[in-house]
Structure 1
């Protein structure tokens, strides 16, 4: 039986990590062309913010936030290899990294103006507990902004068993939430499927006011390949939430 990687552990697999970095920063990466522009729309002004980044990866987001005037940046990351890369990336900045998972991190009370997470929360089994911890660690009026893999994709990974670029996607078992195993970059990676309603309800139950929900639509000006642009119009890849801890 092949290893099932949970959380960020897959990034400590040397071969996977190299392939992931190549994939993540390729010219037609949907993370860069589709998800990132909308994330920054939701972030708006971060000047003088104390920021916590959950599942920060190599801290590339942290670099941008600090350049945009953030007062402090703390990235939480469970993968040793990602932490090493994040430390190097933040070497000439005030940003800091803590080697910890989101589940194990001790969230200090009323500390941050913004908690952000970029495509990491779908690795977490207990989203309710995480939402409560984020609510606790935010200052009143603080914001929680995050992106996840769209639930239309996490409902079924059957489409990903085929090689080559997909032009059709299977949506199945949408309302059967919970653990999924995705065949991704040659490995078996555990993710957790939730409906949009479950994300929304869980955030409300934690006390958040949900300000915006976005399903980023590809923008033609971000693509040099029209065929790739049209392919990305077929299905939403990402889901983003912007929430506030009320005053």
Structure 2
């Protein structure tokens, strides 16, 4: 299933008002951790899957990437990305992540931010990314944490006065589609366990270099007090064996 909720006018309007949509990478709570997991981008050929407004594409170029391809299914997203970008070395392409087709070894770095929980076949995507990476290439991505996606409600258990008592966890091992609510719209997200995701990467041939469940930092502790009561994001860095050409 290839969803394109971002070309729905109401959904896109709500998304455009999110802090990360307005403030960019520095307004994304997980960015400091994600950034630390990226390799040196100098001279690298970069692919961004689910590039959205192009924040990561522009960051890659600002930090020395030779070229960047940003892929997104949404025309609205890419229209905004192009309006915010003045760089001929960034190539935005409208297509689904499931439909990417590049030459073997075409990229040195593949990254993705909070997009893969919208695709049904993560294992196939891992196999494709492995082929498209040059030897020694890096693959870094973030997804909603499986503890967050396990229940379709994706919400707290509340007390009689509306207080957040705990985050309920159920059906963790029952993988598959969840009809979730996001930005006042129904969206389909795909739940898969941590082990399923890591094993898919290993089966594709990757070596895992770092994992993060976004531990609290002093900078985020006040603003994200409740969010650190359970993991909301899973960040993964892997590498294709070999040496850069």
Normalising to structure 1: TM-score of the pair? 0.89
In 1, distance between residues paired with 2:25 and 2:57? 19
Indicate if the aligned counterparts of 1:160 and 1:183 stay in contact, CA closer than 8 A. Answer: no
Match of 1:244 among 226, 239, 242: 239
- The CA RMSD measured in Å over matched residues stands at 2.5
Query: Partner residue of 1:23?
Result: 18
Query: Does residue 174 in structure 1 map to residue 172 in structure 2?
Result: yes
In 2, distance between residues paired with 1:166 and 1:65? 39
Normalising to structure 2: TM-score of the pair? 0.90
In 2, distance between residues paired with 1:29 and 1:175? 34
Query: Partner residue of 2:47?
Result: 52
Indicate if the aligned counterparts of 1:209 and 1:246 stay in contact, CA closer than 8 A. Answer: yes
Query: Does residue 121 in structure 1 map to residue 116 in structure 2?
Result: yes
Indicate if the aligned counterparts of 2:157 and 2:167 stay in contact, CA closer than 8 A. Answer: no
In 1, distance between residues paired with 2:191 and 2:182? 15
Q: How far 1:166 moved relative to its partner?
A: 5.5
Per-residue CA shift, 1:202-241, capped at 9, x if unaligned?
0000000011111111312246xx3x33222211110011
Indicate if the aligned counterparts of 1:87 and 1:96 stay in contact, CA closer than 8 A. Answer: no
Per the alignment, do residues 120 and 77 of structure 1 end up closer, same or farther by CA in structure 2, a change over 3 Å counting? Answer: same
Query: Partner residue of 1:183?
Result: 181
Query: Partner residue of 1:82?
Result: 77
Q: How far 1:34 moved relative to its partner?
A: 2.8
Instruction: Give the length in aligned residue pairs.
Output: 239
Per the alignment, do residues 218 and 201 of structure 1 end up closer, same or farther by CA in structure 2, a change over 3 Å counting? Answer: same
Indicate if the aligned counterparts of 1:7 and 1:190 stay in contact, CA closer than 8 A. Answer: no
In 1, distance between residues paired with 2:21 and 2:202? 37
Per the alignment, do residues 78 and 29 of structure 1 end up closer, same or farther by CA in structure 2, a change over 3 Å counting? Answer: closer
SS for the counterpart of 2:225 is: helix
Query: Partner residue of 1:131?
Result: 126
Indicate if the aligned counterparts of 1:220 and 1:229 stay in contact, CA closer than 8 A. Answer: no
For structure 2, the residue ranges without an aligned partner over 5 or more in a row are none
Q: How far 1:169 moved relative to its partner?
A: 2.0
Per-residue CA shift, 1:119-174, capped at 9, x if unaligned?
00111101111000000000000011100000001000324499999563221100
Query: Does residue 142 in structure 1 map to residue 137 in structure 2?
Result: yes
Indicate if the aligned counterparts of 2:43 and 2:64 stay in contact, CA closer than 8 A. Answer: yes
In 2, distance between residues paired with 1:51 and 1:28? 23
Indicate if the aligned counterparts of 1:75 and 1:97 stay in contact, CA closer than 8 A. Answer: yes
For structure 1, the residue ranges without an aligned partner over 5 or more in a row are 1-5
In 1, distance between residues paired with 2:116 and 2:64? 25
Q: How far 1:63 moved relative to its partner?
A: 1.1
Indicate if the aligned counterparts of 1:49 and 1:114 stay in contact, CA closer than 8 A. Answer: yes
